C-alpha cells in the first residue's frame, strides 16, 4: 500500500485520481508469475510486468488527457478491464512462486531491513525530491491548484504532457507494488490487492493531500500509511475478525474526506 500511496500522492496533487492501481498490482503479479511458470527468467518477468503497468498508465492518460473522460470514471473502467486481465493471465487460478530471484523483492532483508520497506522508503524519497526540488513538481502543484489546470496552462505549463507522465508513472509504480506483493506472498492471484485502492486514497488524504488537488506532501502520506497499517495490525493482534477491517477502512476513508472538506472550508473563509 505504501509503495502505491507514494505515487498516488502525485496523482491527487495534480487534481486527478487513479482507481486502477489495485488492479495494476494484481495483473503485474499474475503476469510475472505466468511468465515464470512458462519458463522465463525472473528478470524477464519483472521487466514485462513493469512495462505492462507503464502501458496501462499511458492508456489511462489517453482516456483522461486526450479524450477528456473524468479520471474517476476512466480509471474505474480500466481497473475492471485490467482486473479481468489478471484473472485471464493465470486462468483464474492461483500460481505459487518458487523462483528465489523473484522472492528476493518481498522476503529478503538488507542489514536487517525487509526489502519491501526499503523499496517503499525509496519511493517516498524519490517522490518527495521530485515534488519539492524539480520543475516537474512545481508544475504538478500548479495543475492541481486550478480547475482542469486552466491557470497552469495559461502560464505555459504543458498540462497534457504532465498528465501523461503522472499516470504513466502511477501505472509503473503500482506494478512495482504488485511485484512486491506477489513476492512477499510467494503466489499470484487475480484477487490480489482487491479493494486496496480506497485505503491508498484514504492514507493520502489523511496525510493532508487535498482531494481536489494543489496541496499535499509525501511525508503526510507516509504518516497516513503508518496510521492505517497500525490500525490493521492492531486489529489482527487482538484477533478481531478480518471482515471488520473493511469497516475500519471505510470509516477511515469517510473521515479523511470529512477532514479534507473542513480544511478546504477554512481556507475558503
3-state SS string over 111-132?
A: CCEEHHHHHHHHHHHHHHHHHH
Task: Quote the pLDDT of residue 233.
Answer: 85
CB 24 within 8 A of CB 173: no
Choose the weakest-confidence range: 25-39, 88-102, 212-226, 254-268: 254-268
d(CA 126, CA 6): 9
**Tens of pLDDT along 150-177?**
788 888 899 999 999 999 999 999 999 9
Task: Indicate if the pLDDT at residue 268 is higher than 70.
Answer: no
Task: Quote the pLDDT of residue 139.
Answer: 95
Task: Indicate if the pLDDT at residue 198 is higher than 90.
Answer: no
d(CA 179, CA 231): 24
d(CA 11, CA 182): 24
Task: Quote the pLDDT of residue 246.
Answer: 80
Model's pTM, two decimal places? 0.92
Cβ partners under 8 Å of residue 234, min gap 6: none
C-alpha cell at 74: 476512466
Cβ partners under 8 Å of residue 9, min gap 6: 127, 131, 204, 207, 209, 216, 217, 218, 221
Q: Give the model's confidence band at 263: pLDDT under 50 very low, under 70 low, under 90 confident, else very high.
A: confident
Provide, rounded to the nearest whole percent, the portion of the chain with pLDDT above 70: 99
d(CA 30, CA 188): 5
Task: Indicate if the pLDDT at residue 257 is higher than 70.
Answer: yes
- For the chain, the domains span 2-191
Q: Give the model's confidence band at 256: pLDDT under 50 very low, under 70 low, under 90 confident, else very high.
A: confident
Task: Indicate if the pLDDT at residue 202 is higher than 80.
Answer: yes
Mean pLDDT along residues 51-72: 96
Task: Indicate if the pLDDT at residue 6 is higher than 70.
Answer: yes
Q: By C-alpha distance, which of 127, 15, 22 is closest to 72?
A: 15
Task: Indicate if the pLDDT at residue 269 is higher than 70.
Answer: no
Q: Give the model's confidence band at 267: pLDDT under 50 very low, under 70 low, under 90 confident, else very high.
A: low
The mean predicted confidence, pLDDT, of the chain is 91
Task: Quote the pLDDT of residue 229.
Answer: 87
Q: List Cα–Cα distances, 30 to 46, 57, 191, in angstroms.
A: 11, 17, 10
**Tens of pLDDT along 86-144?**
999 999 899 999 999 999 888 889 888 999 999 999 999 999 999 999 999 999 999 99
d(CA 144, CA 257): 17
Amino acid at each position: 500500500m505504501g509503495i502505491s500511496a507514494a505515487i498516488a500522492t502525485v496523482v491527487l496533487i495534480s487534481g486527478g485520481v487513479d482507481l486502477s492501481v489495485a488492479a495494476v498490482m494484481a495483473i503485474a503479479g499474475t503476469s510475472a508469475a505466468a511468465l515464470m511458470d512458462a519458463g522465463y527468467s525472473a528478470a524477464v518477468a519483472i521487466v514485462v510486468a513493469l512495462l505492462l503497468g507503464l502501458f496501462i498508465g499511458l492508456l489511462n492518460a489517453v482516456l483522461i488527457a486526450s479524450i477528456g473522460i473524468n479520471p474517476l470514471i476512466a480509471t474505474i473502467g480500466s481497473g475492471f478491464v485490467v482486473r479481468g486481465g489478471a484473472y485471464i493471465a493465470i486462468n483464474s487460478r492461483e500460481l505459487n512462486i518458487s523462483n528465489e530471484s523473484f522472492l528476493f523483492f518481498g522476503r529478503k532483508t538488507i542489514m536487517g531491513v525487509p526489502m519491501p520497506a526499503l523499496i517503499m522508503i525509496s519511493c517516498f524519497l524519490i517522490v518527495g525530491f521530485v515534488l519539492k526540488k524539480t520543475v516537474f513538481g512545481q508544475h504538478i502543484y500548479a495543475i492541481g491548484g486550478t480547475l482542469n489546470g486552466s491557470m497552469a496552462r495559461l502560464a505555459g505549463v504543458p498540462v497534457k504532457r504532465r498528465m501523461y507522465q503522472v499516470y504513466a508513472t502511477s501505472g509503473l509504480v503500482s506494478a512495482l507494488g504488485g511485484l512486491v506483493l506477489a513476492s512477499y506472498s510467494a503466489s499470484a492471484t487475480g484477487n490480489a490487492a482487491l479493494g486496496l485502492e480506497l485505503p491508498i486514497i484514504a492514507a493520502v488524504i489523511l496525510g493532508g493531500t487535498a482531494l481536489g488537488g494543489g496541496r499535499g506532501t509525501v511525508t503526510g502520506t507516509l504518516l497516513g500509511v503508518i496510521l492505517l497499517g497500525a490500525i490493521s495490525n492492531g486489529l489482527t493482534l487482538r484477533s478481531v475478525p478480518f471482515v471488520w477491517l473493511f469497516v475500519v477502512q471505510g470509516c477511515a476513508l469517510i473521515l479523511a474526506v470529512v477532514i479534507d472538506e473542513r480544511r478546504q472550508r477554512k481556507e475558503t473563509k
